[in-house]
């Protein structure tokens, strides 16, 4: 398999965690989101991912975009520990938490949105920071309540799941943007524990071949 990604892309980070968790080997193909005007916009890459976003997974003739679709594909195609374990109700809860992070929050803080805020709406750095703080606070306040009801070591139940991959990647982004995490003690505790897991540690942005630390 080949994974097209970018070291500090949260969506790529989620999938790296998922691949490592399932102990699947893959070739990592870096796509630099800033260099050359953004390599995600180049024609050759757009043929793999019409959205011009990372990640994209190539598995033989199968090409998949959207990190959550990729992780569900891995679960349904390859043996090993499940990213969506449990009953239908458990899996629905795991999907709901994952979507809260990957589909409600992350698009609002994505590079192309940040670029639009600056270039088209002419927002300055202070206004852009206020935008980030607002959307992170709404999403993380909701997540903190869900973790109170469903989480302990992990986001949901007693097993690692796709929701944990999403949490790690989104909290990493929050740290990058210097978001205050003190109102979310459960989130912080679960995040700290997850970072110790070997399949999470190996997926960290700083450990990727394209990292620019």
Please report how close the Cβ of residue 13 comes to ligand GSH at its closest, in angstroms: 8
Please report how close the Cβ of residue 58 comes to ligand GSH at its closest, in angstroms: 14
Please report how close the Cβ of residue 109 comes to ligand GSH at its closest, in angstroms: 9
The residue among 104 and 145 lying less far from ligand GSH, judged by its C-beta, is: 104
Q: What does each C-alpha distance from 66 to 127, 142, 145, 192 come to in angstroms?
A: 29, 23, 26, 26
Residue nearest to ligand GSH (CB): 112
Sole window of 5-13, 18-26, 147-155, 184-192 interacting with ligand GSH (rule: CB under 6 A): 5-13
97 belongs to the binding site for ligand GSH (CB under 6 A)? no
Q: Which residues of 68-89 are buried (b: 16+ CB within 10 A; e: fewer)?
A: bebbbbbbeeeeeebbbbbeee
Residues 57, 73 contacting (CB under 8 angstroms): yes
Site string for ligand GSH, 63-92 (x = CB under 6 A): ---xxx------------------------
Please report how close the Cβ of residue 52 comes to ligand GSH at its closest, in angstroms: 6
Binding-site member from 24, 28, 73, 110 for ligand GSH (CB under 6 A) = 110
The residue among 16 and 91 lying less far from ligand GSH, judged by its C-beta, is: 16
* H runs (alpha helix) in the chain: 10-21, 43-48, 67-77, 88-99, 106-109, 111-119, 125-150, 162-176, 185-195, 198-201
Q: Residue 5 forms beta bridges with which residues?
A: 30
Compute the radius of gyration of the chain from its Cα atoms: 17
Please report how close the Cβ of residue 17 comes to ligand GSH at its closest, in angstroms: 13
Q: What does each C-alpha distance from 26 to 22, 57, 59, 113, 130 come to in angstroms?
A: 11, 9, 9, 30, 38
108 belongs to the binding site for ligand GSH (CB under 6 A)? no
54 belongs to the binding site for ligand GSH (CB under 6 A)? yes
């Amino acid at each position: 398999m080949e994974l097209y990604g970018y070291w500090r892309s949260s969506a790529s980070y989620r999938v790296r965690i998922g691949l490592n968790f399932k102990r699947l080997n893959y070739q990592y193909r870096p796509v630099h989101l800033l260099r050359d005007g953004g390599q995600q916009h180049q024609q050759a890459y757009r043929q793999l991912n019409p959205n011009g976003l990372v990640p994209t997974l190539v598995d033989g003739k199968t090409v998949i975009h959207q990190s959550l679709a990729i992780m569900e594909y891995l679960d349904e195609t390859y043996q090993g520990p499940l990213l969506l374990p449990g009953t239908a109700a458990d899996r629905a809860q795991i999907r709901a938490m994952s979507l809260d992070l990957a589909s409600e929050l992350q698009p609002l803080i994505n590079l192309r949105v940040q670029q639009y805020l600056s270039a088209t709406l002419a927002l300055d750095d202070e206004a852009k920071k206020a935008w980030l703080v607002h959307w992170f606070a709404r999403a993380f306040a909701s997540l903190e309540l869900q973790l109170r009801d469903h989480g302990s070591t992990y986001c949901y139940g007693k097993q690692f799941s796709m929701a944990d991959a999403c949490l790690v990647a989104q909290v990493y982004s929050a740290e990058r943007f210097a978001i205050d995490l003190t109102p979310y003690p459960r989130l912080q505790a679960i995040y700290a524990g997850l970072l110790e897991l070997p399949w999470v540690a190996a997926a960290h942005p700083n450990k990727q071949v394209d990292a620019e630390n």
